[in-house]
Amino acid sequence: MSAESFDVVIIGGGPGGYVAAIRAAQLGLTVACVEKRGSLGGTCLNVGCIPSKALLQSSHKYEEARHDFAQHGVKLGGVDLDLAALMGRKDKVVSGLTKGIESLFKKNKVTYLIGAGRIAAPGGVVVAGPDGERTIAAKSIIIATGSDVTPLPGITIDEQRIVSSTGALALAAVPKHLVVIGAGVIGLELGSVWRRLGAEVTVIEFLDRALPPFDAEVSKQMQRILQKQGLAFKLSAKVTKAVAGEAGVTLTVEPAAGGPAEEIAADVVLVAIGRKPYTEGLGLDAVGVALSPKGFVIVDGHFATNVPGVYAIGDVIGGAMLAHKAEEEGIAIAEILAGQHGHVNYEAIPGVVYTWPEVATVGKSEEELKKAGIAYKVGKFPFMANSRARANDDADGFVKILADATTDRVLGAHIIGPSAGDLIAEIVLAMEFGAAAEDIARTCHAHPGLGEAVKEAALAVDGRAIHI
Give the one residue of 60, 139, 220, 238 binding ligand NAI; rule: CB under 6 A. 238
Q: Which does 207 bind (CB under 5 to 8 A by kind): ligand NAI, ligand FAD, none?
A: ligand NAI
Residue 322: CB minimum distance to ligand FAD, A = 4
Q: Is 237 left (phi over 0), alpha (psi -120 to 50) or beta?
A: beta
Q: Is 295 a binder of ligand NAI (CB under 6 A)? A: no
What is the smallest separation between the CB atom of 392 and ligand NAI, expressed in angstroms?
22
Name the strand (E) or helix (H) holding 343.
Answer: none
Structural contact between residues 415 and 360, judged by C-beta atoms closer than 8 angstroms: yes
**Residue 184 interacting partner from ligand NAI, ligand FAD, none (CB closer than 5 to 8 Å by kind):** ligand NAI
The whole-angstrom separation of Cα 138 and Cα 150 is 32
| Binder among 142, 197, 273, 459 for ligand NAI (CB under 6 A) | 273
249 binds ligand FAD (CB under 6 A): no
Residue length of the chain: 468
- Radius of gyration of the chain from its Cα atoms, rounded to whole angstroms: 24
Q: What number of other Cβ atoms are within 10 A of residue 75's Cβ?
A: 7
Site for ligand NAI contains 241 (CB under 6 A):
no
144 binds, among ligand NAI, ligand FAD, none (CB under 5 to 8 A by kind): ligand FAD
Asked if 16 touches ligand FAD (CB under 6 A), the answer is yes
CA–CA dist 98, 22 (Å, integer): 14
Site string for ligand NAI, 160-199 (x = CB under 6 A): ---------------------xxxxxxx-x----------
Looking at beta carbons only, is 215 or 315 nearer to ligand FAD? 315
Query: Which residues, other chains included, contact 121 with Cβ-Cβ below 8 Å and sequence gap of 6+?
Result: 287
Give the ranges where 109-162 is alpha helix by DSSP (H). none
- For residue 164, the partner it binds in ligand FAD, ligand NAI, none, with Cβ less than 5 to 8 A by kind, is none
359 or 457: whose CB is closer to ligand FAD? 359
Rounded Cα distance, 262 and 174, in Å: 25
Strand partners, 235: none
322 counts as binding ligand NAI under rule CB under 6 A:
yes
Site for ligand NAI in 338-397 (CB under 6 A): 351-354
Query: Hey, which residues between 37 and 76 contact ligand FAD (CB under 6 A)?
Result: 37, 42-44, 48-49, 52
DSSP code per residue over 64-84: IIIIIGGGGT---S-----HH
Which amino acid appears at position 310 of this protein?
A: V
Phi-psi region of 393 (alpha: psi -120 to 50; beta: other; left: phi over 0): left
Q: Contact 349/324 with Cβ under 8 angstroms?
A: yes
Segment 91 to 120, residues that bind ligand FAD, using CB under 6 A: 116-117
Contact set with ligand FAD (CB under 6 A) = 11-17, 34-37, 42-44, 48-49, 52, 116-117, 144-147, 165, 186, 278, 281-282, 314-316, 321-324, 326, 354
